[in-house]
Amino acid sequence: MKYIIANWKMNLGIRESVALARGTLHALQGKEKVPEVVVCPSFTALAEVRKTLSRTRMFLGAQNVGPGRAGAFTGEVGVSQLEDIGCTFAIVGHSERRSLGETDSTIGKKLAGLYETGNITPILCVGESKDVRDAGEAEKFVKKELKDALSGLKIGRRRKLLIAYEPLWAIGTGKPASVLEIVPMQEMIRKVVTDITGVDGADLAVLYGGSVDTENAYGFLREPSIDGLLVGGASLKIHDIHAIIESACEVMTAQESL
Find the shortest distance in angstroms from Cβ 16 to ligand 13P.
17
Q: Least separation, in Å, of the C-beta of 219 and ligand 13P?
A: 15
- In total, the chain counts a number of residues equal to 258
Residue number closest to ligand 13P, CB atom: 232
96, 128, 166, 223: which is the annotated catalytic residue?
166
94 is catalytic: yes
Residue closer to ligand 13P, measured from CB, 69 or 90 = 90
Q: Please give the backbone phi and psi of residue 235, each rounded to the nearest 5 degrees, phi first.
A: -75, -10
Among residues 52 and 64, whose Cβ is nearest to ligand 13P? 64
Rounded to whole angstroms, what are the CA distances from 116 to 66, 91, 168? Answer: 13, 16, 30
Tally: H helices and E strands in the chain: 10, 8
- Between 74 and 99, CB nearer to ligand 13P: 99
Q: Where are the alpha helices (DSSP H) in 99-237?
A: 104-116, 130-134, 138-150, 179-197, 217-221
Catalytic hit among 36, 94, 96, 128? 94
Cβ within 8 Å of residue 94, ≥6 positions away: 7, 63, 64, 125, 166
Q: Say which residues have a Cβ less than 8 Å from residue 32's Cβ, sequence separation at least 6.
A: none
Q: What angle do CA 197, 120, 223 make, to 5 degrees?
A: 65
Kindly tell me which of 94 and 143 has the beta carbon lying closer to ligand 13P.
94
Q: In the complex, what is the shortest distance from the CB of residue 212 to ligand 13P, in angstroms, rounded to a whole number? A: 5
Burial call 195-234: b when 16+ CB within 10 Å, e when fewer: ebbebeeebbbbbbbbbbebebbeebbbeeebbbbbbbbb
Residues that bind ligand 13P in the complex, under the rule CB under 6 A:
7, 94, 166, 171-172, 209-212, 230-234
Nearer to ligand 13P, 118 or 233 (CB): 233
Distance of closest approach, residue 154 Cβ to ligand 13P, in angstroms: 26
* Cβ-based neighbours of 239, under 8 Å, separated by 6 or more: 214
Closest contact distance (angstroms) between CB of 19 and ligand 13P is: 20
Residue 125, SS3 per DSSP:
strand
Q: Is 137 a catalytic residue?
A: no
Instruction: Give the active site residues.
Output: 94, 166
